[in-house]
Amino acid sequence: MRPTEELDTWNDADDEEVLVDLPDAPVRKIAARRRLSPVDALKQYWGYDGFRELQGEAVQAVVEKKDALVILPTGGGKSLCYQVPAACGLGLVLVVSPLIALMDDQVAGAREAGLRAGALHSNADEAEKRRLRDALDRDELDLLYVSPERLSVGDVLGRHAQRLALVAVDEAHCVSHWGHDFRPEYRTLGKLFDQIPDVPRMGLTATATPQVQEDIVQQLQLRRPVRLVGHMDRANLTYRCLQRRDQTAQILDVVRRHPGDGGIVYAQTRKDVERIAETLRGHKVQAAGYHAGMTPAIRAKVQADFVNERLNVVVATIAFGMGIDRSNVRYVIHANAPKSIEHYQQEAGRAGRDGDPAECVLLFSAGDLASHRQMALKDHPAPERLRVLDRHLKDVGRFAVAPVCRHRLLVEHFGQDLTTAPEGCGACDVCLGETTETPAADALLLAQKIISAVWRLGGRFGIAYTIAVLRADGDSRTTDRMTSAGHDQLTVYGLLKTHAEGDLRGWVDQLIVQGFLEIDEEGDYPLLTMTESGKALCKGVGTVRLGVAQGKTARKTKAKADTSAGLADPDKPLFERLRVLRKLMAEDHGVPPYVIFHDATLHLLAAQKPTSLEALQEVKGIGERKAARYGAPVLAVIGGKDPSMAFVPRGA
Ligand code: ADP
Ligand code: ZN
């Protein structure tokens, strides 16, 4: 038995405990991993033939003991940038990560690949803690996840420093005030790293704005880092931004396009979450709500059910998702506008991490932006903070209503270019021809009529009433309120009565987003007012663009799958049977199904139908360990056996 002081070191932080997830085979007695080249490690552990954009460069930086800043979009493959060095046998890789759920998922995934991985955080028992401590002492750990708080206790850095091959900081934008998930604990990391000057550092994030990048370099004290900034475009996602007209119908529309698939619906408030989840269930969709007002136990259950594919749809406030690694989420719906483009990129980015096509739909109303602002004002933000917020909201509005390719707008937001074919990206509503832009002269005239109405009404009415006056017909659409206020005498009365209400709402939103109108939230209810540039536009100064969503969804998108492209069509019934087998094996091993095989891997299996273990290992996503562990039942199912017969429980 080791001296007890060592145990005490581990108990320094009372609320922090240790979870160790070593592979369940007896701990091997080897002192260090055999050295492997990065490409060999990639093949052997993950079954992948090549690195994705910039992964190889990131690994090479570690080999050369250089610091690196890695910016890749969600789903871009950041984890492999630090997991491959661990698999190469370079030494222990320490990963600082902000969320326990995320750590656990990553540990499960790394173990499935065959790495000796563990996580140090507050949710585990004494026995597991000891296993991890022993494994560390015996140098039998490749990968260790820690929370930033746990790291500051000092024992890991102090006692195991000489074995460290890398310290990686995941979600590194959390160090930055400019980002959207600022975490004060992250600010202490630079100081801690002073104790390990010889260990290379890697900061990873999906947030690519230059300010955030600079902040990361400074705060983590990266030393002349190799900067690896990947392309932010997610080609396998199809984006749609719709004017919110009938929220329920619009959400159902998307859900029904993806029967039986996993999806996330983001809503703004807890009440919205509960209402939408209830409505979906009323329409026989298997859905559950998730928000911060629910008990931790219920939240954990919803998350586990979703991750383990016992639940298809989660309706959530943004509290949900950061810890979700489920890679086969096929759609993400925003029932309300997000707070910033960074938020959108991250939330929508949870769709299609496996590289297969997925859909992101944003239901937009300009009122969402005003309510985000209202909510933020409750915290009395500093003027500087408020300016940042306003800029973020404006960008969201522009993204949602500008009749411009959504892929392009997103990528440009992150300071990059997107080159598309002349006919567009083929994977957003604008390029798919699901929206139409009003010709410039007509747009100007429409805009002038709408702004004039706001002007004539003195900026003392809301959107709905302003539109009602514009659409009044002297008959059923004319209300007593209008006549008694004398608004039927205005020149703008009934001026746009031939247009649909939804179109008018859309145009008002677009005018707000382009800065010609404004929502004034000061009083009891929001008022629509005119801005200086709105006034100018009425006099013919300035340009305006207006579009209309047709609401019809093109059947074919060209969203590119980055795995199964160019292959024979998978055998659909076989795919479904493999899916059943995967679920049985996942339950048996206590891991989420996608940790065993991605959907993309199942598609490949169903297309290629390998008949031997060797052929099986040629399939992308199947490394040595997975082939050994799951190969036999997979081959049996491909050979025609029923999944429940092919499956052999571990104890059997
Ligand atoms: P991120 O952390 O950047 O969001 P992940 O590390 O979770 O992305 O990777 C996204 C998905 O892509 C994972 O399912 C991972 O297994 C897969 N992936 C990563 N690198 C490769 C690769 N070189 N070849 C094939 N698939 C990969
Ligand atoms: Zn496009």
In a domain, 413, yes or no: yes
Q: Mark whether 66 and 203 lie in a shared domain.
A: yes
Q: Mark whether 248 and 222 lie in a shared domain.
A: no
- State if residue 579 touches ligand 1 by the CB under 6 angstroms criterion: no
Q: Is the pLDDT of residue 205 over 90?
A: yes
Q: Which ligand is nearest to the CA of 620?
A: 1
User: What pLDDT does 7 receive?
Assistant: 25
Q: Mark whether 324 and 250 lie in a shared domain.
A: yes
Say which residue, 177 or 380, is predicted with more confidence: 380
- State if residue 48 touches ligand 1 by the CB under 6 angstroms criterion: yes
The residue behind tokens 């990131």 is: 58
- State if residue 72 touches ligand 1 by the CB under 6 angstroms criterion: yes
- Residue 12 alpha carbon to ligand 2 centre in Å: 53
- State if residue 413 touches ligand 1 by the CB under 6 angstroms criterion: no
- Residue 78 alpha carbon to ligand 1 centre in Å: 7
Q: Which ligand is nearest to the CA of 110?
A: 1
Q: Mark whether 372 and 276 lie in a shared domain.
A: yes
Q: Which atom of ligand 1 is nearest to 74's Cα?
A: 4
Q: Could you give the percent of the chain with pLDDT greater than 70? A: 90
Query: Which are the contacts of 643, defined by CB distance < 8 A and separation ≥ 6?
Result: 577, 578, 580, 581, 584, 633, 637
Three-class SS state of 95? strand
Q: Which ligand is nearest to the CA of 435?
A: 2
Q: What does the pLDDT average to over 22-49?
A: 71
- Assign residue 472 the CATH number of its domain: 1.10.10.10
One-letter amino acid identity for 467?
Answer: I
Contacts of range 48-53, beta carbons closer than 8 Å, 24 or more positions apart: 48/620, 48/621, 49/620, 51/80, 52/76, 52/77, 52/80, 53/230, 53/231
Q: What does the pLDDT average to over 503-529?
A: 87
In a domain, 134, yes or no: yes
Q: Mark whether 449 and 421 lie in a shared domain.
A: no
In a domain, 652, yes or no: no
Q: Which ligand is nearest to the CA of 564?
A: 1
Q: Which of 239, 236, 233 is nearest to 553 (CA)?
A: 239
In a domain, 94, yes or no: yes
Q: Is the pLDDT of residue 100 over 80?
A: no
Q: Which atom of ligand 1 is nearest to 349's Cα?
A: 4
Q: How many domains does the chain have?
A: 4
When pLDDT is cut at 50, 70 and 90, the band that residue 30 belongs to is very low
- Residue 329 alpha carbon to ligand 1 centre in Å: 14
Q: What does the pLDDT average to over 18-41?
A: 58
- State if residue 75 touches ligand 1 by the CB under 6 angstroms criterion: yes
In a domain, 449, yes or no: yes
Q: Is the pLDDT of residue 140 over 70?
A: yes
In a domain, 558, yes or no: no
The answer to whether 630 and 596 have CB atoms below 8 angstroms apart is: yes
- Residue 471 alpha carbon to ligand 2 centre in Å: 33
**Which has the minimum average pLDDT: 23-37, 154-168, 223-237?**
23-37
End of a domain among 434, 455, 487? 434
Nearest CA to ligand 1 atom 10: 75
- State if residue 343 touches ligand 1 by the CB under 6 angstroms criterion: no
Q: What does the pLDDT average to over 460-488?
A: 93
- State if residue 180 touches ligand 1 by the CB under 6 angstroms criterion: no
**Count of positions (residues) in the chain:** 652
Residue 85 burial by Cβ neighbours in a 10 Å radius (0-12, 13-18, 19+): buried
594-648 pLDDT, tens per residue? 889 988 899 999 999 999 999 999 999 899 999 999 999 999 999 999 999 999 8
- Residue 403 alpha carbon to ligand 2 centre in Å: 10
Q: Which atom of ligand 1 is nearest to 598's Cα?
A: 14
- State if residue 353 touches ligand 1 by the CB under 6 angstroms criterion: yes
When pLDDT is cut at 50, 70 and 90, the band that residue 490 belongs to is very high
Q: What does the pLDDT average to over 477-502?
A: 92
Q: Which atom of ligand 1 is nearest to 109's Cα?
A: 16
Q: Which ligand is nearest to the CA of 326?
A: 1
Task: Among 353, 597, 604, say which to mutate for ligand 1: greatest number of ligand atoms within 8 Å of CB.
Answer: 353
Q: Mark whether 497 and 472 lie in a shared domain.
A: yes
Q: Mark whether 336 and 419 lie in a shared domain.
A: yes
- State if residue 345 touches ligand 1 by the CB under 6 angstroms criterion: no
Q: Which ligand is nearest to the CA of 408?
A: 2
Q: Which atom of ligand 1 is nearest to 170's Cα?
A: 2
User: What pLDDT does 568 receive?
Assistant: 59
Q: Is the pLDDT of residue 32 over 60?
A: no
User: What pLDDT does 571 receive?
Assistant: 83
When pLDDT is cut at 50, 70 and 90, the band that residue 34 belongs to is confident
Distance CA(239)–CA(423), nearest Å, equals 16
- Assign residue 116 the CATH number of its domain: 3.40.50.300
Q: What's phi and psi for 645, nearest 5 deg? A: -85, -35
Nearest CA to ligand 1 atom 14: 354
User: What pLDDT does 33 receive?
Assistant: 61
- State if residue 592 touches ligand 1 by the CB under 6 angstroms criterion: no
- The DSSP-derived string for 143-168 is EEEE-HHHHTT-HHHHHHGGGEEEEE
Q: Mark whether 408 and 468 lie in a shared domain.
A: no
214-228 pLDDT, tens per residue? 999 999 999 999 999
How would you classify the pairing of strands 92-96 and 68-71?
A: unpaired
Q: What does the pLDDT average to over 127-136?
A: 84
Q: Mark whether 427 and 446 lie in a shared domain.
A: no
- Assign residue 582 the CATH number of its domain: 1.10.150.80
Contacts of range 292-297, beta carbons closer than 8 Å, 24 or more positions apart: 292/317, 292/319
- Residue 355 alpha carbon to ligand 1 centre in Å: 8
Q: Is the pLDDT of residue 437 over 70?
A: yes
In a domain, 316, yes or no: yes
Q: Is the pLDDT of residue 2 over 60?
A: no
Tokens of 368: 């969402």
Q: Mark whether 362 and 495 lie in a shared domain.
A: no
- State if residue 625 touches ligand 1 by the CB under 6 angstroms criterion: no
End of a domain among 409, 434, 459? 434
Q: Mark whether 481 and 496 lie in a shared domain.
A: yes
In a domain, 328, yes or no: yes
The whole-chain average pLDDT of the chain stands at 86
298-341 pLDDT, tens per residue? 988 998 899 889 999 999 987 666 567 788 999 999 999 999 99
Q: Is the pLDDT of residue 4 over 70?
A: no
- State if residue 596 touches ligand 1 by the CB under 6 angstroms criterion: no
End of a domain among 489, 517, 549? 549
Task: Among 79, 350, 601, say which to mutate for ligand 1: greatest number of ligand atoms within 8 Å of CB.
Answer: 79
Q: Which of 76, 167, 170, 80 is nearest to 414 (CA)?
A: 76
Q: What does the pLDDT average to over 562-590?
A: 80
Q: Which domain holds residue 373?
A: 237-434
Task: Among 43, 52, 598, say which to mutate for ligand 1: greatest number of ligand atoms within 8 Å of CB.
Answer: 52
- The DSSP-derived string for 239-305 is EEEEE-S-HHHHHHHHHHHSTT-EEEEE-SSHHHHHHHHHHHHHTT--EEEE-TTS-HHHHHHHHHH
Q: Which atom of ligand 1 is nearest to 42's Cα?
A: 23
- State if residue 52 touches ligand 1 by the CB under 6 angstroms criterion: yes
- State if residue 45 touches ligand 1 by the CB under 6 angstroms criterion: no
Q: Mark whether 118 and 223 lie in a shared domain.
A: yes
CA distances from 529 to 416, 471, 482, 486, 535 (A): 35, 18, 18, 19, 11
User: What pLDDT does 5 receive?
Assistant: 27
- Residue 381 alpha carbon to ligand 1 centre in Å: 37
Q: Which ligand is nearest to the CA of 325?
A: 1
